[in-house]
Amino acid sequence: MRQSTRLLVNSAVNVFARLVTVVSRLILVPFAVGVLGRSAYGTWVVVGQIFAYTRVFEIGLRAAVTRQVALRIERDEHELLHRHVNTAAAYYSLVGVLIAGVTVALCAVYNDWFEVPPAWHGATRGMVLVSGLTLALTIPTYAYGAVLAGLQRFDLLSGTQIGADVLRLALVLALLPMFD
């Protein structure tokens, strides 16, 4: 594919992915508040923010892998490229295992730390478990997302984001009423 065509396709899919994200969140927030109520929704937001802090473990590695992919392919250094990607994948996998362990531990203490009402204990444990384990399973894919970015395949990268957003929306719409 020509570079100008690649740029147009990447840009169009990226814009579409952002629109899907915005629309899914515009649907999700009022639905979640309606099902859970304001207080329980606030608990869900706090759980999400706790796990958002795990981005600190990213440490700029994705950007470095993206750069190394482009550089090593340009120089035809495939062995070195494989080492960089495998090292990043191993690191992110280790972080995923660490987050899974922290998630299990957090399930045991979250309700006490944040003084969650007893009626919400089970639902809150479920929120912590689902949020943490989803993140633990997602983080190891960061290395491969960086490879796609280094190959300038933002169309594929955005396509996976679209799929993830649609799946997340469908799962929340289907499963959240069970916590009511």
Query: Token digits for 153?
Result: 């395949």
- Asked if 136 contacts 100 with a C-beta cutoff of 8 angstroms, the reply is yes
Q: Do the Cβ atoms of 43 and 127 come closer than 8 Å?
A: yes
Please state the separation of Cα 87 from the chain's center in Å.
20
Q: Is the pLDDT of residue 180 over 70?
A: no
What value does the mean pLDDT of the chain take?
90
Residue 107 has a pLDDT of 92
Question: Which residues contact residue 107 at a Cβ distance below 8 angstroms, ignoring those fewer than 6 apart?
Answer: 125, 128, 129, 132
The domain spans of the chain are: 3-179
Length of the chain equals 180
Identity of the residue numbered 5: T
* Residue 37 pLDDT exceeds 90: no
Which of 65 and 37 is assigned the larger pLDDT? 65
* Token pair belonging to 26: 């515009």
The tens digit of pLDDT for each residue in 86-144 reads 999 999 999 999 999 999 999 999 999 988 889 888 888 888 888 898 889 889 999 99
* Amino acid (one-letter) located at 15: V
pLDDT tens digits, one per residue of 43-52? 888 988 988 8
Amino acid letter at 97? V
CA–CA dist 20, 40 (Å, integer):
26
pLDDT for residue 172: 83
**Rounded to an integer, what distance in angstroms lies between the CA atom of residue 180 and that of residue 173?**
12
Share of the chain above pLDDT 90, in %: 52
